[in-house]
Chains A and B, each alone.
Chain A
């Protein structure tokens, strides 16, 4: 059954279609949230849940029913960004502990050492970056998205995305003292 058919059923109120869409796209949404947030399970679950909830609530606004995956992915990116901003605000107000990403748990043990080292450096640096820069950089360097895809997921123009990614790369190079 294609996504478009499931979306049509879900619009009619079929609960089983909601669940089918959730199960079909869970790995995409959980994956995005996991990589953007740095793997904290509770937050990842909450973001994934919120993303699907918003998607189901606004199903009528989805123009191309077949592009549900892309759509729910961009909602997940927005939810993750909102979460990161809220956490950052809480930390600024002294209400939360400093962000620490457990790269030991985040990066799979089967990752080749050079790639693992690269990812460790990236995740050690993103904590200090503005949320939009962090998101753009992770979408580029971990998700492997093109500039166009990032622009679509973040609802930004191509040129803004390029600037954000470039700023992230520069900040990363500065923080780790490596080559840009």
Chain B
């Protein structure tokens, strides 16, 4: 008797769509969208970095208002309970603290202007003498050329605090008085601010790079790769090396063009140069996936994914841990496989991969 094939088997062949995966693709998609629109709209400010892989998990809402003077004017960055870091196309980064609302008022080759509506945001601005980077907090205006600083606004009233970690900024208050602040100085108005920085302490860098972490692998693999080395800060950028955003884009483009080895090298370069960047865990994860799925390099994949586990960010951790279980199984390392599986079950008892991992490591 002829067996009638069962139709609609979608549920049996369904992708595992984690929030991290969706966010990662959205991140690439929106970057690509902007890149393509940038090609056709010259001279436009592009907030290219957009959200990191964790964006959705961070309860962030981006809005791009229509009919704005330029494409991204009006874009609002809102954070809820978790801080968020955004990388701009020129290499500048913005770290918004929880409960912050920051709006891009205008952007051009000569001026970028943000308005801090509430909360606190730290800026690390790439040096560009031809462009003013301005942050407004109420009637206070902070102008900068290339530096690292933070601006905070009180929840109510007109309290504002500016802290400079590096470089020089110019602050103009509501009465039109202007003063220059250099590294280590702070300026504030309104004493009853519920702000994060203690008043009398020297300001800590608002966007601290992730501290270098070198942990010897405990799985018997050698940690000789770039992703196992301590992250170096942006030392090489001054020597003409591509920015973190550029390098990330390059690596993604190579991966998409199925140039797996070249993509792998680009991801490794990223981790070696920008290990403290917000995208580093995502890059390590992509590197692990690439090695595991395309290059058949299980040990290399283990090293990359272990780096994801070491990062402070919880995003991607579940996916990385599940993949580690599969990798150790593939390598025949039952102990490490069992350890990783036990850790997965402990951390994610009802996780997305729990069923898939149930019969592993035996």
Chain A residues with CB under 8 Å of chain B are 9, 12-16, 18-19, 22-23, 26-27, 30-31, 33-35, 39-42, 44-46, 48-49, 52-53, 56-57, 87, 90, 96, 105-111, 115-116, 118-119, 140-144, 179-180
Contact = CB atoms under 8 A, between A and B. Distances in A.
A49 B13 contact: no
A7 to B, nearest CB: 14
B124 to A, nearest CB: 24
A38 to B, nearest CB: 9
A165 B292 CA distance: 34
B30 interface: yes
Given A42-B290, A45-B25, A142-B13, A109 B7 contact: no
A15 B7 CA distance: 37
Contacts of B293: 40-42
A16 B30 CA distance: 11
Contact of B33 (A46, A56, A116): A56
A53 B33 contact: yes
A119 B355 contact: no
Nearest to A110: B355
A74 to B, nearest CB: 17
A14 B33 contact: no
A58 B40 CA distance: 15
Interface stretch (B64-72, B145-153, B332-340): B64-72
Given A16-B62, A19-B26, A41-B293, A31 B14 contact: yes
B17 A30 contact: yes
B348 to A, nearest CB: 17
Q: In which size bucket is the chain B interface? A: 35 or more
B62 A141 contact: no
B225 interface: no
Nearest to A143: B10
Interface of B: 2-3, 5-15, 17, 21-22, 24-26, 28-30, 32-33, 36, 56, 61-67, 71, 75, 255-256, 258, 289-290, 293-294, 355-356, 358-359
Contacts of A179: 2-3
A118 B64 contact: no
Contacts of B25: 26, 45, 48-49
Contacts of B67: 12-13
Task: Rank and list the top 4 A-B pairs by shortest CB-CB distance, nearest first.
Answer: A144-B8, A15-B64, A144-B7, A34-B15
Contact of A44 (B15, B28, B71): B15
Contacts of B256: 46
B11 A22 contact: no
Given A14-B65, A46-B256, A115 B29 contact: no
A96 B259 CA distance: 10
A119 B10 contact: no
